[in-house]
Structure 1
Amino acid sequence: MVSARSVAVRARSGNVTRRLLTGLAAAALASATALTPSTAHATPPAHSAAVPAHALTGYWQNFNNGATVQKLKDVDDAYDIIAVAFADATGQPGAVTFSLDPAVGYASADDFKADIKAKQAAGKSVVVSVGGEKGTVSVNDEASAKNFADSINKLMDEYGFNGVDIDLENGLNSTYMAQALKAVHAAHSDVVVTMAPQTVDMQSPQNEYFKTALAIKDFLTVVNMQYYNSGSMNGCDGKVYAQGSVDFLTGLACIQLEGGLDPSQVGIGVPASSRAAGGGYVAPSVVNAALDCLTQGSNCGSFKPSKTYPGLRGAMTWSTNWDASNGNEFAGQVGSHVHALP
């Protein structure tokens, strides 16, 4: 995540509320691009309830890097969206696959699928995340876009994932990634699509990540930008803000909010503890102050947005595992604050 989600992650190879279309599946297919996924459904499978208006997102680690090892069922109930990290590249350009790391402790894939269903029964969404700092998935032409869409659709059908998280940190082509995601949406009209760009990727609507988000705005769930491992960045007022401050969170969120995304498509992504990232960790109280500033105009630092965004989606953390290692502080404090937003 800017250089990684965390120092430990470097060691691995690593508005819309979710829309339920009211038309026929054929209408969803017609709205997509020329890509036609081979796994399209006449009736998208029903997985879980819609993502709540204010949601907490957490990444679940399918590996052991020193944080608390969890099964999905162990993830704190405060998390509304759980991003399973990560899908892996295959030998086919754009295609991804997923397999459980034995270190996580599942006896079988069926046990993992059962945990996904249990989370969904509790109203949660579970998505498969693509990328990470060392993710090598590349979607840069028609063929790789189709391969990406087909493989994501297959994983959604096989595991019951609600959707996909885009966490590609080594380049992204907005034209073909948007095509791929539209093809996924055509096959699963209730798909949950989340994104976790680095701060530099969202400095301008002309950047490829930002352009991708805008291209799928009709069904994009949330962009949880990584407000860490980045150093200082420009805010929407043109001033430079240092990471680790409330102004960094609010001043950079403002770029997305004023750059075309709906407030419901903007979330604040931060590390769950100082061990989870190389820099940019802030206490839960700072995240909550930023949420108050953006949604209500209170508890701001030196930067105060010219207007409020009460529909702001919420917050994200890397990771549920590091949060568990830290006593689930993020889930308890930020999660309760997100869910209490008006």
Structure 2
Amino acid sequence: MARAHIRKRLLGVAAVAALAAGGPLSTGSADAAGAAVPAHAVTGYWQNFDNGATVQKLRDVPDDYDIIAVAFADATGTPGGVDFRLDPAVGYTSEQQFKDDIKAKQAAGKSVIISVGGQNGTVSVADDASADAFAASITGLMDEYGFDGVDIDLENGVNSTYMAKALKAVHDEKSDVVVTMAPQTIDMQSTSTEYFKTALAIKDFLTVVNMQYYNSGSMNGCDGKVYAQGSVDFLTSLACVQLEGGLDPSQVGIGVPASPKGAGSGYVEPSVVGAALDCLAKGTGCGSFKPAKTYPGIRGAMTWSTNWDAAAGNAWSKAVGPHVHGLP
């Protein structure tokens, strides 16, 4: 997730020991029990680190969020392999508390997924062996923690052939897996980009692509005109590229920062997000760009992050959540 703030990675061997001392660590698998993602959904990233935003536990994430992406899994010494460890900074005294919070969110109808990548993520899936390792480690984390799925937020390159293979392997093992993606704007400008090709390759089970409409320069809209970030036209015209490029409307979401502190640039008021969603879904609220048709099935919106949202009094989710859930 591109952003101005560098996350603190604090968990070493000593920290793991301290965490274990705070409570028993679960050794058994945790069964995922999340409900189906609603037709119009709000996604929020939950920070497993302290970067100056409000530190919170999963239980603190508002009910307006339908998908909670735990950020982030970390690369292991095995190419393609990932693992997850709680950062002591978030305040859990045991892994079991975290797993219990996941189950509670699922019981409330939410999906909790593990996000891979971020600004500092170095996971590479570029051959058969790394694709197999990625799939095995994701399904392993789903078993261990009860995650409902995986979010692909790799900002250092995606190989569509092998990432698609890995995600298909996860889906083969977990047929109800929730799969989301958060590419940067440049990664979704054309169906020939690796991110776009990955999305299309897994279209039969892809949940949503929440492109990051921030920390971006000006980009081409689907009408061939150039639009600058920070406007309703930027959101609608770039969403149109994906909608007309082969993704189903239910697989397209608008990703924005929860507050000006959540990203280096590209913050828009929640009302702008609402206007963009209305423009795409109903043809109202548009700026100078108006799509040739409407997409009432548009999935919804995403934000970085639930923590930055909390730091701003949850103003983003209080405004965007009801708007998304009220779409036709």
Separation of aligned partners in 2, 1:45 and 1:164: 15
**Which position in structure 2 is the counterpart of 1:330?**
316
Other structure's SS at 1:317 match: strand
Other structure's SS at 2:222 match: coil
Structure 1: 4+ residue segments shifted above 6 A:
none
> Does 1:48 pair with 2:34?
yes
Alignment of 1:71-220 (within 5 A): 71-220=57-206
Letter in 1 for 2:172: A
Give 1:66 shift.
Answer: 0.3
Letter in 1 for 2:47: Q
In the alignment, which of 4, 9, 19 is matched to residue 7 of structure 1?
A: 4
Alignment of 1:307-318 (within 5 A): 307-318=293-304
In the alignment, which of 266, 281, 288 is matched to residue 280 of structure 1?
A: 266
Separation of aligned partners in 2, 1:205 and 1:254: 12
Name the count of aligned residue pairs.
Answer: 308
Tell me the TM-score normalised to structure 2 length.
0.93
Give 1:302 shift.
Answer: 0.1
**Which position in structure 1 is the counterpart of 2:21?**
none
Deviations 1:30-58 (A, max 9, x none): xxxxxxxxxxxxxx955111000000000
Give 1:231 shift.
Answer: 1.6
Where structure 2 has 5 or more consecutive residues not aligned to the other structure, the ranges are 10-29
**Which position in structure 1 is the counterpart of 2:49?**
63
Give 1:217 shift.
Answer: 0.3
Separation of aligned partners in 2, 1:233 and 1:123: 36
Contact 2:34–2:112 (Cα < 8 Å) also in 1: no
**Which position in structure 2 is the counterpart of 1:31?**
none
Letter in 1 for 2:152: I
Deviations 1:251-305 (A, max 9, x none): 0000000000000000000000001100000000000000000000001000000
Give 1:76 shift.
Answer: 0.6
Give 1:138 shift.
Answer: 0.1
Separation of aligned partners in 2, 1:165 and 1:281: 22
In the alignment, which of 273, 276, 283 is matched to residue 297 of structure 1?
A: 283
> Does 1:250 pair with 2:236?
yes
**Is the alpha carbon distance of 1:238 and 1:12 closer, same or farther for their aligned partners in structure 2, counting shifts above 3 Å?**
farther
Deviations 1:39-85 (A, max 9, x none): xxxxx955111000000000000000000000000001100000000
Separation of aligned partners in 2, 1:307 and 1:85: 35
Alignment of 1:4-43 (within 5 A): 4=2, 6-8=3-5, 10-12=6-8
Other structure's SS at 1:280 match: coil
Where structure 1 has 5 or more consecutive residues not aligned to the other structure, the ranges are 14-43
Deviations 1:217-276 (A, max 9, x none): 000000000000002111000100000000000000000000000000000000000011
Separation of aligned partners in 2, 1:125 and 1:114: 14
Separation of aligned partners in 2, 1:169 and 1:339: 29
Separation of aligned partners in 2, 1:12 and 1:139: 24
Give 1:89 shift.
Answer: 0.1
Contact 1:265–1:312 (Cα < 8 Å) also in 2: yes
Give 1:330 shift.
Answer: 1.1
Separation of aligned partners in 2, 1:111 and 1:329: 27
Separation of aligned partners in 2, 1:11 and 1:164: 20
Contact 2:46–2:70 (Cα < 8 Å) also in 1: yes
Contact 2:117–2:154 (Cα < 8 Å) also in 1: yes
Letter in 1 for 2:195: Y
Q: Percent identity?
A: 78
